């Protein structure tokens, strides 16, 4: 099968969820003999070593850099266009002409577009079968964030929410198939049509890693720390939940690991018991720093891959209902779900107690059963060929 895949970012290094999903799908497609062309529309400058890493995977790679100088003009365009900012920022006619040249030369059997950000390049190509991966209910995430921003920003989030919601529904009809990361996200789009749930997988190295904890009295939280839902969760952990934990367990450490820690995190979380690592080339080492993983997130959408990784590494997990609801019931049974700050603190103290036991062997087995990049990619290929 000849497949062309469009992305709104360069899928390496793996510091963001959409990059991780694309990277492992690409690897699995190539391992299953797909003739793959990948088109990356991107703002970031690509490092030669990252380009070489991706090209070494196989397939044909095209990197179309978007002009940053256009961004202010794209913001102005939202005043008279129905397109949401998330789509406008990643679309311009020069890049579209380049894409059409690649498409004409490639002549794929199928086009697989990741996120609504790349849909404008693909939607009118009626000659080809097409699948749109919504990935998550982006509009739903915007609505939650609107309730947490300053009043003078709220109108912009509300406006963008309405545009994204309208676009998610309208663009549906241009594609033959549609995928999303969880059943909850499919429901949250409000789209009254069928969307196939294609979950993430997990790299085998997580399942093969031995159970090892550097600091038994440490909690871990990981993610892209420049992403608002992760920023909000990190601040909540450090400023609201941990002081309650420290009242009874003053020696407890909090380790926050991930790329691009926001200045809010760096300025507000200055306690000596909080370690902010920044980017870690091997994120598995972050999970090994503590025994308990905590994700008190109230913003965002989609399936948090950090939860799958933590379970695969043998960490017990305490999380919010928003995080837990994206998973299958069998996975949810492994999670300690809490809502209130005091309940989170009590759960943390319980998990750090010498009397607490967590069946990490069973945890790894459940993760292995439900999260396989090979299986999800086979599911996609069957969908493309149906």
Q: Give a three-class secondary structure readout of the chain.
A: CEEEEEECCCCCCCCCHHHHHHHHHHHHHHHCCCEEEEEEEECCCCCHHHHHHHHHHCCEEEEEECCHHHHHHHHHHCCCCCCCHHHHCCCCHHHHHHHHHHHHHHCCCEEEEECHHHHHHHCCCCCCEEEEEEECCHHHHHHHHHCCCCHHHHHHHHHHHHHHHHHHHHHHHHCCEEEECCHHHHHHHCCCCCCEECCCCCCHHHHHCCCCCCCCCEEEEECCCCCHHHHHHHHHHHHHHHHHHHCCCCCCEEEEECCCCCHHHHHHCCCCCEEEEECCCCCHHHHCCCCEEEECCCCCCCCCHHHHHHHHCCCEEEECHHHHCCCCHHHHCCEEECCCHHHHHHHHHHHHCCCCCCCHHHHHHHHHHHCCHHHHHHHHHHHHHC
- Please report the pLDDT score of residue 376 as a whole number: 95
List C-alpha distances in Å: 1 to 29, 35, 243. Answer: 10, 6, 56
What are phi and psi for residue 36, nearest 5 degrees? -115, 135
- Please report the pLDDT score of residue 161 as a whole number: 94
Name the one residue in this structure whose structure tokens are 């003078």.
Answer: 152
- Please report the pLDDT score of residue 145 as a whole number: 87
pLDDT tens digits along 297-324: 999 888 999 999 999 999 999 999 999 9
Paired tokens of 371: 């999260």
- Give me the residues of the chain with pLDDT under 50, please: none
- Please report the pLDDT score of residue 311 as a whole number: 96
Determine how many CB atoms are found less than 10 A away from the CB of residue 285.
Answer: 15
CA pair distance 126, 160, nearest whole angstrom: 28
Determine how many CB atoms are found less than 10 A away from the CB of residue 176.
Answer: 14
Domains of the chain: 2-201+372-385 (3.40.50.2000), 204-370 (3.40.50.2000)
- Please report the pLDDT score of residue 24 as a whole number: 97
Determine how many CB atoms are found less than 10 A away from the CB of residue 277.
Answer: 18
- Please report the pLDDT score of residue 320 as a whole number: 97
pLDDT tens digits along 52-71: 999 999 999 999 999 988 88
């Amino acid at each position: 099968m000849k497949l062309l895949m469009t992305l709104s970012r360069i899928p390496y290094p793996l510091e963001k969820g959409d990059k991780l999903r694309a990277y492992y799908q690409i690897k699995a497609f190539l391992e299953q003999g797909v003739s793959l062309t990948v088109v990356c529309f991107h703002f970031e400058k690509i490092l030669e070593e990252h380009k070489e890493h991706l090209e070494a995977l196989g397939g044909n790679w095209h990197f179309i850099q978007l002009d940053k100088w256009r961004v202010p003009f794209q913001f102005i365009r939202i005043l008279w266009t129905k397109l949401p900012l998330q789509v406008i920022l990643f679309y311009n006619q020069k890049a579209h002409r380049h894409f059409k040249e690649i498409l004409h030369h490639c002549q794929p059997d199928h086009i697989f577009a990741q996120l609504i950000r790349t849909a404008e390049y693909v939607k009118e190509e009626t000659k080809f079968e097409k699948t749109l991966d919504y990935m998550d209910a982006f509009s739903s995430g915007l609505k939650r964030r609107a309730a947490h921003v300053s009043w003078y920003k709220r109108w912009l989030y509300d406006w963008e929410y309405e545009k994204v919601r309208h676009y998610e529904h309208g663009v549906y009809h241009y594609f033959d198939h549609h995928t999303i990361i969880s059943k909850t996200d499919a429901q949250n789009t409000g789209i009254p049509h069928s969307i196939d749930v294609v979950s993430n997988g997990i790299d085998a190295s997580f399942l093969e890693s031995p159970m090892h904890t550097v600091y038994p009295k440490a909690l871990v939280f990981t993610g892209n720390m420049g992403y608002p839902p992760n920023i909000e969760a990190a601040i909540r952990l450090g400023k609201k939940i941990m002081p309650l934990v420290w009242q009874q367990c003053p020696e407890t450490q909090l380790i926050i690991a991930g790329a691009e820690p926001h200045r809010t995190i760096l300025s507000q979380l200055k306690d000596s018991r909080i370690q902010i690592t920044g980017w870690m080339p091997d994120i598995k080492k972050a999970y090994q720093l503590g025994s308990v993983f905590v994700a008190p997130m109230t913003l965002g959408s989609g399936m948090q891959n950090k939860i799958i990784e933590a379970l695969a590494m043998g960490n017990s997990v305490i999380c919010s209902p928003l995080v837990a609801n994206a998973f299958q019931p069998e996975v949810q049974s492994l999670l300690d779900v809490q809502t209130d700050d005091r309940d989170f603190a009590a759960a943390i103290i319980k998990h750090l107690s010498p009397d607490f036991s967590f069946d990490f062997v069973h945890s790894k087995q459940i993760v292995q059963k439900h999260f396989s990049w090979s299986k999800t990619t086979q599911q996609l290929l069957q969908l493309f060929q149906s």
